[in-house]
Amino acid sequence: MKRLLLLFSLVIISIEISAQVYWPNSFKYPSCSTMPPATTNCTKWPTHTSGTWFWNDPNTWNGNSIPKDDDIVCIPSGYSVSIKNNVYSSSSCPAPADTVLSPRLNIFVCGSLVFEPSGTLNLACFSFIQIWPGGTIYAANGSSDLIRIGSTILWGGPGSTTQNNLTGPTYVASPAIGQGVLPAMFDYIKVNQSNPYQVSVEWGTLQEINSMAFIVERSIDQKTWSAIGSVKSVGNSSLKTSYSFTDKNPLSGTTYYRLKQVDIDGAAAYSDIVKVSNNQSAKTISVYPNPVSGIANIYSKTNFKSGQQLYLIDAKGMRIKAYAATSNTNIMQIDLAMMKPGLYLLQVVDNGSVVESLPLIKQ
């Protein structure tokens, strides 16, 4: 009996039930009606409606600190911020195969962003500026004021002495400036493991413009990525849209997932990364969920075979229940509602040989 309990303890410790993991940097895009002080979707915003206030003046912003990497900067209607000299510089731009998307800056303009001569914003790759209706970026019409994302100057710069003001709805995002809003405005992304041999990737968008598809990619090290499927997007929508994709052959251990959003013109952008930890998929047979209070789902990595038997063993080592496997299916259900709470062992026997021994906790 002591050996059996020790076996229970060792195997139970090795089980890691994957929790739902949400996109760590996900946020609902602030609109002009939801900007501070009405919401907390923004991390930085100006606090003065009168006078001239500069980006690099800490007194301009809430918390008396200027925006930093990964901030969500909002300029509400009626507020104005001036950019003089190089007020923000982050040249981080990962290689195409890399997904370390931070640091970056997301800027939403409903008021005014005013460029003084030689005023520049140098933003990291995957940063963007969304100008909503009523918002404006004012040009100084100098040869030095510019907006750069990664290594690409998207607005202004040498030779552009007559760049136009940008009025909403307009976005500035690599690789181009566009009229309207960003093609895919993510609301959330998450992964959920519904059973040991399936991982569901779910995401939502708030709005889409000329979006073509989402490619689901997977990695074990966040360096080498493989496409495992794609989902067609709605293309154009101003409504919230939900998507999902099921990975029917998940990897064992920690796996990372990301989305590659592709526009109809071939432009692409990557989502942030979500992960799931699965120590069960390497097993031939798994119980999920575990602990269980009523119906226990017994999963086979392939299919159960005719002649296989499942035995429920109590803490004394006695077989107290026997079940005949249902052939040509990868899931069986056994009802444990009437069993006493405690530790049990589930054995799968094929032709007299134990295929798998699984701990099972009855709540």
Which of 15-24, 171-180, 216-225, 272-281 is predicted most confidently? 216-225
Average pLDDT score over residue span 73-99: 73
In the predicted model, is pLDDT for residue 90 greater than 70?
A: no
Q: Picking from 28-37, 88-97, 116-125, 268-277, which range would have the lowest pLDDT averaged per residue? A: 88-97
Apex 306 CA angle, 303 and 309, nearest 5: 90
More confident site: 264 or 64: 64
Whole-model pTM: value is 0.54
Average pLDDT score over residue span 85-92: 68
Residues 6+ apart with CB under 8 A from 134: 32, 77, 110, 168
Q: Picking from 125-129, 175-179, 307-311, 313-317, which range would have the lowest pLDDT averaged per residue? A: 175-179
Residue pair 268/280 in contact by the 8 Å Cβ criterion: no
In the predicted model, is pLDDT for residue 100 greater than 60?
A: no
Every domain of the chain and the residues it spans? 2-16+283-362, 58-179, 184-278
CATH homologous superfamily of 2-16+283-362 equals Macroglobulin (MG2) domain (2.60.40.1930)
Residue pair 81/60 in contact by the 8 Å Cβ criterion: yes
Architecture of the structural domain at 184-278:
Sandwich (2.60)
Residue pair 268/252 in contact by the 8 Å Cβ criterion: no
In the predicted model, is pLDDT for residue 175 greater than 50?
A: yes
Q: Do domains 2-16+283-362 and 184-278 have the same CATH topology?
A: yes
Average pLDDT score over residue span 255-273: 81
H/E stretch holding 11 = helix 2-14
How much is the mean pLDDT over the chain? 79
Q: Picking from 11-20, 51-60, 316-325, which range would have the lowest pLDDT averaged per residue? A: 11-20
Residue recorded with tokens 């056994």: 334
Take residue 223 and report the two structure tokens written for it.
Answer: 């360096």
